[in-house]
Amino acid sequence: MYMSERRSDVVKKMAELVKAGATLLAYSCPVCGTPLLRLKSGEVYCVRCGKRVFIVKSDLEERSVLTSAVLEELRDTITSLLSDLVRNLREGKFSPGERIEVGREVLVWLEALERVNRLLREVSSGGSS
């Protein structure tokens, strides 16, 4: 079994892989506790177990946190842009010709806002598609 792999061999092999371009991760193997490596191919690997390890769940969680942060920022940006446009419209800062253009722009941003809100709902509900 993998227990026959001596610790110094494991360290040596890890060093070799890092030299070959692998990255040492903050995660450790759930089976043996050895720090995991992310190989150049993108696979997460435990040298001691000699196996690929899946940390998909935390990866996904991290990604969805990141996604919702970006989406929330986008939503705030669009909202403030729309409120600026509406304020300028109400204060009569646009000529009749410009108002048509502004109206089109408002529609574009509203559509974007709707899409962002839909994505935010999907992300927060786990987004299994």
* Dihedral (CA of 100, 104, 110, 113) sign: negative
14 binds Zn ion (CB under 5 A): no
Would you count residue 10 as binding Zn ion (CB under 5 A)? no
Q: From residue 43 to residue 62, what is the string marking binding to Zn ion with x (rule CB under 5 A)?
A: ---x-xx-------------
Under the criterion CB under 5 A, does residue 29 sit at the interface with Zn ion? yes
Distances (CA, A) of 8 to 3, 4, 51, 90: 12, 11, 18, 74
Instruction: Give the separation between CA 28 and CA 48, rounded to whole angstroms.
Output: 11
- For residue 38, the minimal CB distance to Zn ion (Å) is 14
Helix (H, G, I), strand (E, B) or coil at 23: strand
- # residues near Zn ion by CB under 5 A: 7
Nearer to Zn ion, 2 or 94 (CB): 2
Task: Please give the residue ranges that form the binding site for Zn ion (CB under 5 A).
Answer: 29, 31-32, 34, 46, 48-49
